[in-house]
Structure 1
Amino acid sequence: MAALVITNANNKGGVGKTTITVNLADALAREGFSVCVIDLDPQSNCSQHLSKTLIDPDRSIVNVLQAADDDLPLDFDSFLTETIIDNVKLLPSTLKLDGLESDIHNAYVNPLLVLKRRIEPLLDQFDIILIDTAPSLGLWLRMALTVSSKVIIPADTSGQYTMQGTKDLQKFIKQVQRDVNPELETLGAVATKVTATNASQAVMGLLSIQFNMFETVIHSATVITESQLAKMTVLQHARTSRCAKEFVNLAREVLSRCGLQPKRKNKPGPKSKTTVSTLATQELEAAS
């Protein structure tokens, strides 16, 4: 069976797209699924979080998109990177992706199909492909939605501009469904950065009118920031926390909405760690 391809999308930044991608990948892998994460964001935060090693600029999504048609199908052993999660591979991004959009537009009659044609070998290699996208309504998001069967919308409940951003995204998704991918389905919106404040609860209420909301919500939690600093997932860093349980529940709800059953019982994650990993330390030192 071909891989289930899911894009996490929102044209507003800071809503939790990458956080959901990273932790959903871990939770799905713990349910027994082989997962590939494709980073389509030039900021490459997802790649920096997941990769076990520093990103090789010659083994990224940029090189995949630049590959000539004559080189297809690609051997992805040359591009996929090991991650901090068992049973999860990464097709990383780099800042070079930011300057590639005009080249793709100029080189192809139908640039939307470039990603779809190039990742075809991955569809038989993995159970689930998760695509992390940039906060924009540009070519990379359109490409991701063209190749995807499902889209998840992380919705920040702490921001005053959430509603307008999600309305714009809805229109964009409908255009892709109409023009290139009628099979694309919005699985639902995930409320993120949820708190007990009146403002957060009000935004959740408005979102529930506009979207088919996931029952699982992701609360604002310090363990999310701690896990990012430690280059770990929340399940690895604090597996007994409420936040970790929320990502497990979200993964199971995603599977249920896609008509899939877990392949195995959840395995307990490693004990909570509070130290920053060696690679994270290297990156912090390099940035200083």
Structure 2
Amino acid sequence: MGRIIAIANQKGGVGKTTTCISLGVGLARKKKRVLLIDFDPQGNSTQSLGYNPDMLEVTVSDVLDRVIEKDYTIANDYGIIHSQEGIDILPANIELATMEMKLLAVYIGREKILDKYIQMISDNYDYILLDCKPSLDIITLNALTAADSVLIPVQAQFYSVKGLEQLLNTINQVVTGGLNTRLTIEGILLTLANPQTNNFKEIKKVVEGAYGQHINVYHTHIPRAVTAEEAPASGKSIYLYDGTGKVAAAYEQFTQEFIKEA
């Protein structure tokens, strides 16, 4: 059974999707079988890997619909795209936004719809990465209920760090409330960093001081770079778009650290 990791932060613009794709491709480059589930109605992971969300016949919404209808005859490759970068992706589009109302209408087990699907296909992968939307609702709760652990990208700035507490409280409620007692925190990854500044050094010190005793704070940090902002529009990961740049090097180092600590 593959490890299921939710990449989550309720704050947008922290490099969540870039981290999800870069870790996925980094793991695939190390011969791991990886599925990325785009679980954000904006479809950012889908677009960032070169696919038009509005042109796809099957997305994660269709998969969830079939599970809600108790159709468990879903083929292992139903809706899954085999990308040129070595990872599989279950795409998303704006239809996922309407899924919240459908999930809320499920009387029993609304938080476990995604989990039921993942249990059907998890043996096909070493890692399943869930790119969560930047909010804490029933969609994200489905991801947290299905996951083994949560990877938290945090932009190296004061307000991003301050917002960590809400996500950590939600994770704690998922565990203590019995929705997913196996859920742990994979670690905190500092992103969009400028390591030469005093601000970054102070933020790093605050994060390690506040959380480092109980939560893994990765030694690797991801620097800010124009190429990382340009890569999604090109439909390529940072490895294809700027493979010799500092962001690709940082994600390669992070992937090695991630595997070593797994």
| TM-score, normalised by the number of residues in structure 2 | 0.92
CA-CA distance at 1:17 after TM superposition: 0.4
* Mapped contact 2:81–2:88 kept (Cα < 8 A): yes
Which residue is equivalent to 2:163? 165
Which residue is equivalent to 2:201? 201
Determine the C-alpha separation between the residues in 2 that align with 1:80 and 1:155. 29
**Does the alignment pair 1:134 with 2:133?**
yes
Which residue is equivalent to 1:226? 230
Determine the C-alpha separation between the residues in 2 that align with 1:125 and 1:231. 25
* Mapped contact 2:53–2:91 kept (Cα < 8 A): no
**Does the alignment pair 1:122 with 2:125?**
no
Q: How does 1:33-112 map to 2 (within 5 A)?
A: 33-52=32-51, 56-67=55-66, 68-86=68-86, 88-112=87-111
Which residue is equivalent to 2:248? 244
* Mapped contact 1:55–1:92 kept (Cα < 8 A): no
Determine the C-alpha separation between the residues in 2 that align with 1:74 and 1:227. 33
CA-CA distance at 1:201 after TM superposition: 2.2
* Mapped contact 1:47–1:55 kept (Cα < 8 A): no
The CA RMSD measured in Å over matched residues stands at: 1.6
* Mapped contact 2:50–2:236 kept (Cα < 8 A): no
* Mapped contact 2:53–2:93 kept (Cα < 8 A): no
62-71 or 89-98, which moves further after superposition?
A: 62-71
Determine the C-alpha separation between the residues in 2 that align with 1:209 and 1:32. 36
Number of residue pairs matched by the alignment: 255
Determine the C-alpha separation between the residues in 2 that align with 1:238 and 1:172. 36
CA-CA distance at 1:210 after TM superposition: 2.6
Letter in 1 for 2:228: I
Letter in 1 for 2:203: V
Letter in 1 for 2:220: T
118-127 or 132-141, which moves further after superposition?
A: 118-127
Determine the C-alpha separation between the residues in 1 that align with 2:69 and 2:95. 20
Q: Secondary structure at the match of 1:77?
A: coil
Q: Secondary structure at the match of 1:207?
A: helix
Determine the C-alpha separation between the residues in 2 that align with 1:151 and 1:14. 18
Residue by residue, what CA displacement relative to the aligned partner does 1:27-61 show, whole Å, maximum 9, x if unpaired?
A: 00001101000011111111111145655443101
Determine the C-alpha separation between the residues in 2 that align with 1:147 and 1:51. 27
CA-CA distance at 1:229 after TM superposition: 2.7
**Does the alignment pair 1:184 with 2:183?**
yes
Q: Secondary structure at the match of 1:28?
A: helix
| TM-score, normalised by the number of residues in structure 1 | 0.84
Q: Secondary structure at the match of 2:201?
A: helix
CA-CA distance at 1:227 after TM superposition: 1.9
Q: Secondary structure at the match of 2:240?
A: helix
Letter in 2 for 1:96: E
Letter in 1 for 2:167: L
Cα gap change, 1:33 to 1:203, in 2 (>3 Å):
same
Letter in 2 for 1:129: I
Q: How does 1:141-160 map to 2 (within 5 A)?
A: 141-158=140-157, 160=158
* Mapped contact 2:24–2:129 kept (Cα < 8 A): yes
Determine the C-alpha separation between the residues in 1 that align with 2:31 and 2:246. 22
Residue by residue, what CA displacement relative to the aligned partner does 1:187-213 show, whole Å, maximum 9, x if unpaired?
A: 110000110222222222111123321
Which residue is equivalent to 1:266? none
* Mapped contact 2:156–2:204 kept (Cα < 8 A): yes
Letter in 2 for 1:174: N
Determine the C-alpha separation between the residues in 1 that align with 2:34 and 2:229. 23
Q: Secondary structure at the match of 1:6?
A: strand
Determine the C-alpha separation between the residues in 2 that align with 1:97 and 1:226. 25
Letter in 2 for 1:171: N
Which residue is equivalent to 1:18? 17
CA-CA distance at 1:78 after TM superposition: 2.6
CA-CA distance at 1:106 after TM superposition: 0.9
